[in-house]
Amino acid sequence: MEIRIIEKSKPWRWIDIKELLEYRELLLLLTLRDIKIKYAYTMVGVAWAVINPLFTLLILTFVFGTVAKIQVLGVPHAIFTLSGLLAWNYISTVMQEGGNSIVGAQNMISKIYFPRIIIPLTKVLGGLIDFIVTFLFLLILLPFYGFIPSSNIVYFPIFTLLIILTGSSIAIWLSALTIRFRDFQYVTPFIVRVGMYLTPIAYPASLVPEKFKTIFSINPLVGVIEGTRWCFIGGDFPLQELIFSVMTVLFLMFSGVLFFRNAERVIVDIL
């Protein structure tokens, strides 16, 4: 039997990649468990992954497309909106589930040792089911409207990676903050609700008045969503927004991991 000696880690350390790889099977098992809990034991099952974006799409299309009659670059409003929801649904889901992940797993954390960062990462991987279903839904909707995707779609895998990194960085930060400040369990849903309207999902960022654009661009999801939409419907490449988004996401990832690792040292005592 292998004997493992666990020493108290130093503060502000980066992830031990070698140790994380040793626990890859645990990461996979916990991810599969979350997926089963989320879908297998519900009456509708995996159809929730379709119902959620479908109803959100119908509401946003009605409000912004039918009532407000917002012009969206000459493409069907449903396609414009769903291309924005593709990134938003994934990131918002990972934010909420990842933020509460550590608190929800406190019984397991207090009994056995494993890299604690695995817990929010399971939400990042589990959320890919919803992301894939929404992506397939978008692919079905494109020919339904007789819309041919832009040739920029070849860059979509790069933006998919950016979407995953964005969700991961925010989930790690929120999970670490929730360890110390339980109020974030209630703050996160509020941030998601407000963020949905402050992010250009059902309207183009170009409609934001010039005097508010600086504040509006602080939202790192603007570049992520505008870039993802560019892959499908073309238009002007959102270079400025993307540069800001990439820099912000990299900062959030780096600082989030360091903060999480520091909080991890006292996680059992706090929980």
DSSP 8-class letter at 151 = G
State the Cα–Cα distance between residues 170 and 233, nearest whole angstrom: 27
Q: Please give the structure tokens belonging to residue 231.
A: 């892959």
Residue-level pLDDT at 108: 83
Q: Please give the structure tokens belonging to residue 91.
A: 């990131």
State the Cα–Cα distance between residues 195 and 94, nearest whole angstrom: 14
Average pLDDT of span 112-137 = 90
Burial class (CB within 10 angstroms; exposed 0-12, middle 13-18, buried 19+) of 173: buried
pLDDT confidence bin for 164, thresholds 50/70/90:
very high
pLDDT confidence bin for 1, thresholds 50/70/90:
very low
Residue-level pLDDT at 106: 80
Average pLDDT of span 6-34 = 78
pLDDT confidence bin for 150, thresholds 50/70/90:
confident
Residue-level pLDDT at 236: 86
Residue-level pLDDT at 12: 56
CA 221 → CA 31, 135, 157, 205, distances in Å? 25, 18, 17, 11
pTM, rounded to two decimals: 0.88
User: In percent, how much of the chain has pLDDT > 90?
Assistant: 32
Domain boundaries along the sequence of the chain: 17-270
Residues 6+ apart with CB under 8 A from 85: 53, 56, 57, 60, 134, 201
Average pLDDT of span 18-38 = 87
**Does residue 220 carry a pLDDT above 90?**
no
Report yes or no: 120 and 102 within 8 Å, Cβ to Cβ.
yes
Residue-level pLDDT at 178: 85
DSSP 8-class letter at 66 = I
Taking only the tens place, the pLDDT of each residue in 34-93 is 888 877 666 566 677 778 888 888 899 888 888 888 877 778 889 999 999 999 999 999
Average pLDDT of span 130-139 = 91
Burial class (CB within 10 angstroms; exposed 0-12, middle 13-18, buried 19+) of 46: middle
Residue-level pLDDT at 20: 83
Residues 6+ apart with CB under 8 A from 100: 175, 178, 185, 188
**Does residue 269 carry a pLDDT above 70?**
no
- What is the average pLDDT score of the chain? 85
Tokens 């995953």, residue? 164
Nearest to 199 by CA among 67, 13, 60: 60
Q: Please give the structure tokens belonging to residue 102.
A: 């550590």
